[in-house]
Amino acid sequence: MTRATPALLLLGALAACQPPAEKEGANVADNGANAMGANAADNAAEPQRSILRPEVIDQVEEPRAEPADAVIGFGASPMALDDTAKAAIDAVLASPAAREGGAITLRGHSDSRGNDGDNKVASRIRAEKVRDYLVEKGVPKDRITLVALGEARPVAPNAKEDGSDDPEGRARNRRVDLHVALPVIMVPPPVQSNPAEKP
């Protein structure tokens, strides 16, 4: 009796595992069709589930809100909120950023008529009017910051090119820029154990 070498045994085993050459393409196609059919039947009976744990899937973060901005005009009524101004504030209050509790900054502005000191006071009064309306609507006062800028940052000319007064431009400059930031999410630092405290 002859002894087979290990190399010949290995070749024989590999040859036995291979499908016949003429049927190889047909077997692969059949196997793929069978697998797809089985998956379709399984999915119809029960949808595929993620391999993630359910508690991880439930914690998937929703997209965060965007900051909210509005320009509150005081053109028609230089020191009081009219219905248009209140509607603009109400729209910001309905935004996700405002509902999530983001900090609110009110930047008051004025036109250039009068001296700079008086204009800063007027711009602060306008910002206070918006703040008071926000507080009336339930916003905590400590969320609101006031900045009085006076006539320093106009959005329109206060005078025409010939030097004459521009009432429409001045009306646009009497405004409060309202900005609601996204809330800051404080993540506590990881608890570190002190090796000296171990028994």
When the pLDDT of each residue in the chain is averaged and rounded to a whole number, the result is 79
Residue 1 belongs to some domain of the structure: no
pLDDT in the model for residue 68: 94
172 domain-assigned: yes
pLDDT score, position 65: 75
Q: What is the pLDDT of residue 12?
A: 61
pLDDT in tens, 137-162: 999 999 999 999 999 999 999 999 99
189 pLDDT tier (thresholds 50, 70, 90): confident
Domain count, the chain: 1
Does 133 reside within a domain?
yes
Taking CA atoms, 198 is separated from 85, 193, 194, in Å, by 63, 9, 7
Give the mean model confidence (pLDDT) for residues 120-127: 96
Please check whether residue 47 lies inside any domain of the structure. Answer: no
CB atoms within 10 A of CB 71: 14
pLDDT, one tens digit per residue, over 28-53 is: 555 555 555 555 555 555 555 555 55
Whether this prediction's pTM lies above 0.85 is answered by: no
3-class DSSP assignment, residue 147: strand
Residue 97 belongs to domain with CATH number: 3.30.1330.60
Give ∠ CA 153-154-156 in degrees, rounded to 5: 160
What pLDDT sits at residue 107? 98
Is residue 60 assigned to a domain?
no
Domain coverage including residue 159: 68-180
- Has residue 17 been placed in a domain? no
